[in-house]
């Protein structure tokens, strides 16, 4: 009987463009970003009833585009 070692691999998929990266580690890939918008879900009376947090894993290209879009949207709005 032979023994064969099959190392664990993890697939990281960008939530923006679908790019897939296979790695030996479950850690976020280098130059990728975790985008988190922490917020609550509210009922009709204004009470927080659920977690509405948005979480996305973005590759370096998509994270750059998101940063540029956020900066463009907020530029000049705050006074």
Taking only the tens place, the pLDDT of each residue in 1-49 is 676 776 888 999 999 999 999 998 899 999 999 999 999 999 999 999 9
Alpha-carbon gap, residue 27 to 64, rounded angstroms: 20
This prediction's pTM: 0.78
pLDDT band at 59 (very low <50, low <70, confident <90, very high): very high
Structure tokens belonging to residue 12: 């990281």
**Span 68-77, pLDDT tens digits:** 999 999 997 8
Structure tokens given for 40: 């609550």
Q: Domain locations in the chain?
A: 31-79
Identify the pLDDT of residue 78: 67
């Amino acid at each position: 009987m032979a023994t064969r070692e099959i190392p664990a691999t993890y697939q990281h998929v960008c939530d923006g463009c679908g790019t897939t990266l296979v790695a030996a580690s479950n850690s976020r890939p280098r130059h990728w970003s975790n985008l988190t918008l922490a917020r609550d879900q509210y009922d009709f009376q204004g009470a927080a009833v659920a977690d509405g947090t948005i979480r996305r894993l973005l590759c370096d290209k998509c994270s750059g585009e998101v940063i540029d879009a956020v900066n463009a949207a907020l530029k000049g709005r705050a006074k």
